[in-house]
Structure 1
Amino acid sequence: MYLEDILSVCLQGLNSRYPDHVIDINLEIMTLTDIDAKGWKADELIKHLNEKAPHFLQKMARMIVDSCETVIYLLDISEETPALWLHCQGKLPPCHEHSRKAQKVGQQNMIANL
């Protein structure tokens, strides 16, 4: 899969094509403060960026998902160093729950399983 569009469209495409995915943020490229860099879902990341750094969502991006790499580059920052690492094939790392609603649901499920 190859897509070159603004970041929000790339993330929506990832969410549509690979609903079971995990995103890790390269904080050297996307200078965000007070953020967990690992375990994001596309919809959570879009919501977070819309609230905290909406300019990132409008940046031109290149998403590549193939056998060699699964990444998103922000083209005006770096075409060599990924801004986001995508995990969408094979064994996936754990997904963290970044939204408060998702955290509450996760806590309720943990309590119910006790």
Structure 2
Amino acid sequence: MSFSVKPRVRLFQKALPDSGGMKVTCLATGFYPRHINLTLFRDDQPLDSHQITGGELLPNGDGTYQMRKSLEVSTDDLKENYQYTCKAEHLSLDNKLDIPLDYEPYPGQKHVVAVV
């Protein structure tokens, strides 16, 4: 008997204080079987593999797998307001799963509101 488990896919950002840019990461986890295709896009154009870090398949403790791919975005690219998307293809999915990045206004900064 064969079975499959759908991936949980997230696309998130993290500020890079040293460069002023940010890192965009696509994480797919909890999927089975192990083969998955994750592709990062900028304005609907796939990014070249030399721009991407990660991509190693890692086991989870429950017998499922995870994969993450990341892209460092420069301060110049941030000014362009590109749209980043992660597309996941897996046996368990009927269609490709497209996850857009929801930008934070200031990546990595927390906003604190004081009520008096």
| TM-score, normalised with respect to structure 1 | 0.27
Bigger Cα Rg: 2
Q: Which structure has more strand as a fraction of its residues?
A: 2
| TM-score, normalised with respect to structure 2 | 0.26
